[in-house]
Amino acid sequence: MSKDNITAAIDVGTTKVCTLVGDYDRDGVVQILGIGISPSRGLRKGMVVNIDETVESIAESVEKAERSSGCKIVSAQVGIAGGHISSLNNRGVVAVNRSDRIIGDDDVARAMESARTINIPSNREIIHIIPRSYTIDGQDGVKNPVGMYGFRLDVEAHIVTGAVTSIQNLTKCVQKVGVEVEDLVLQPIASAESVLTEEEKEMGVVLADIGGGTTDIGVFIEGAIWHTSVLPIAGHHLSNDIAIGLRTPFAVAEEIKARYGHAFPSAIDPEAKIDVATFGAEGTRPILTRHLSEIIEARIEEILELILVEIKRSGYEGLLPAGLVLTGGTANLPGIEALAKEVTQSPVRVGFPIGIGGLVQDLDNPAYATSVGLLLWGLKNRSHSSNGDYGQHLGTVYRRLMGWIKELLPQ
């Protein structure tokens, strides 16, 4: 196995922190070498609100992943989300430099630099600038312009920005654990790497990662990212609604949501009941399972409506041909696919992480879409770094790991 590509990824979610270590095997398949999952404390709605608690959660997850992989993690791809994220599309234009008019990497880099010149407030920072498509002398829809002839190169780029303070808080938490942040990757972009097929992205698809604190949305058209957005509402709000509606503690609401929850009330026996611990009274009280389902349905409907608003905001009012792919822990809810089909009137499927080997059984859950996607993103950008894809690559974990081992070995 080539060791040059060993990569680590940390998904700092609102409910769990998941660290993965992976590498390509001889056949070019990504192998998961180590997993570390710990409950997340210190985050609200995808953002760090308590540094010490977040650092503890990350440290626990990183230690577990190090133990299970036998690798020391010195740097990692890290996911970012939260309501502070916003995105826009911008165009960059340059004249082709070379006298033979063959477009080179440097022309593409200059075009991207030109697309980057946007006015953003000083309290915001660019997280991603991703090329969507190129136009050469008016001919649009070019995916890779390098090597083609032209006088003028235009690039359509997707730009994601975030609040400097939120970015710094997250970076600081990871650094305090002794891990360097290689790239900050927007969570819906990461999740898309692991759950969407190339065909779906080509045809036009919406990805919604409904986690604990945020619903991360990505719209993909003609193989490229078109729109990204993060809504500060997800599974945590469902449990909150259940806790209030059934007058039960939050922890009980979480448990009954996962055990008996269903997003499609008409699929539930109208007579079926469950015993639920309530506030104030001794013991438990029977409630109709259908009532639980109605509470869930109302909140999921609201989230789906907000997703539709985002699709509209992206400029695509009509339905995207490949429909909606739901992922994130809340996509485990039975009936969510049926409800989403009814609300959006489009094809819907639940997306599990794909494209990996190794310790895959443990990750066969939509909740791990972001973590697996971060790893795939890291490995892909590492192997593409020579052609400047996304221009975001920094260093390799393995080289640093070897440096660290050498320091420890007796001379």
Ligand X SMILES: Nc1ncnc2c1ncn2[C@@H]1O[C@H](COP(=O)(O)OP(=O)(O)OP(=O)(O)O)[C@@H](O)[C@H]1O
| Sites of contact with Mg ion (CB under 5 A) | 13, 211, 370
Closer residue to Mg ion, CB minimum distance, 17 or 74: 17
Nearest CB to Mg ion, comparing residues 211 and 358: 211
Q: Which of residues 75-104 bind ligand X (CB under 6 A)?
A: 81
Could you give the CA distance from residue 17 to residue 336 in angstroms, rounded to a whole number? Answer: 24
Residue with tokens 């996911």: 79
Asked whether 135 and 146 are in contact (CB, 8 A), the reply is no
**64, 84, 236, 299: residue in contact with ligand X (rule CB under 6 A):** 236
- Residues 360-379 touching ligand X, rule: CB under 6 A, are 367
Nearer CB in complex with ligand X: 150/188: 188
The site string for ligand X over 175-214 (x = CB under 6 A, - otherwise) reads ------------------------------------xxxx
Q: How far apart are CA 275 and CA 297, in angstroms?
A: 20
| 228 binds ligand X, rule: CB under 6 A | no
Closest CB 56 distance from ligand X, rounded Å: 16
Helix (H, G, I), strand (E, B) or coil at 35: strand
Q: Which one, 367 or 374, has the nearer CB to ligand X?
A: 367
Q: Would you say 128 or 393 has its CB closer to Mg ion? A: 128
For residue 353, the 8-state DSSP code is P
Phi-psi region of 125 (alpha: psi -120 to 50; beta: other; left: phi over 0): beta
Counting DSSP H helices and E strands in the chain, the numbers are: 11, 19
Find which of Mg ion, ligand X, none residue 212 binds, CB within 5 to 8 Å per kind: ligand X
Q: Answer with the entry of Mg ion, ligand X, none that 68 interacts with (C-beta below 5 to 8 A by kind).
A: none
> Which residues does 316 contact at the CB level (< 8 Å), separation at least 6?
204, 219, 221, 226, 227
State the binding partner of 235 from Mg ion, ligand X, none, CB within 5 to 8 A by kind.
Answer: ligand X
Stretch of 83-91, 175-183, 231-239, 241-249 contacting ligand X, by CB under 6 A: 231-239
Cα 154–Cα 156–Cα 158 angle in degrees, nearest 5: 150
C-alpha–C-alpha distance, residues 243 and 278, integer Å: 9
Q: Does 22 bind ligand X (CB under 6 A)?
A: no
The minimum distance between CB 11 and Mg ion, in angstroms, equals 6
Q: DSSP letter at 102?
A: B
Q: Does residue 358 touch ligand X according to CB under 6 A?
A: no
Residues numbered 25-64 forming contacts with ligand X, rule: CB under 6 A: 40, 46
Closest-CA residue to 14 (of 57, 62, 66, 76): 57
Question: In terms of DSSP bridges, do strands 356-358 and 30-39 run parallel, antiparallel, or are they unpaired?
Answer: parallel
Give the one residue of 150, 328, 351, 353 binding ligand X; rule: CB under 6 A.
328
DSSP E strands in 270-317: the ranges are 273-277, 284-288
Applying CB under 6 A, which of residues 248, 314, 330, 381 lies at the interface with ligand X? Answer: 330
- Of 60 and 254, nearer to ligand X (C-beta) is 254
Minimum gap (Å) between residue 10 Cβ and Mg ion: 12
Q: Where are the beta strands (DSSP E) in 67-179?
A: 75-80, 86-95, 124-136, 139-142, 152-163
Residue carrying structure tokens 């953003």: 120
Q: For ligand X, which stretch binds (CB under 6 A), given 132-140, 170-178, 257-265, 374-382?
A: 257-265
How far, in Å, are 10, 73, 176, 237 from residue 234 at the CA level? 20, 31, 28, 6
DSSP for residue 352: P
Partner in contact with 61, chosen from ligand X, Mg ion, none, beta carbon below 5 to 8 Å by kind? none
Residues 300, 270: Cα–Cα separation, whole Å: 20
60, 254, 297, 337: residue in contact with ligand X (rule CB under 6 A): 254
**Which position's Cβ is nearest ligand X?**
329
Residue 165 CA: distances (Å) to CA of 21, 186, 189: 28, 16, 21
Of 19 and 133, the one with the shorter C-beta distance to Mg ion is 19
Query: Binding residues for ligand X, per CB under 6 A?
Result: 13-16, 40, 46, 81, 211-214, 234-236, 239, 254, 257-258, 261, 328-330, 332-333, 367
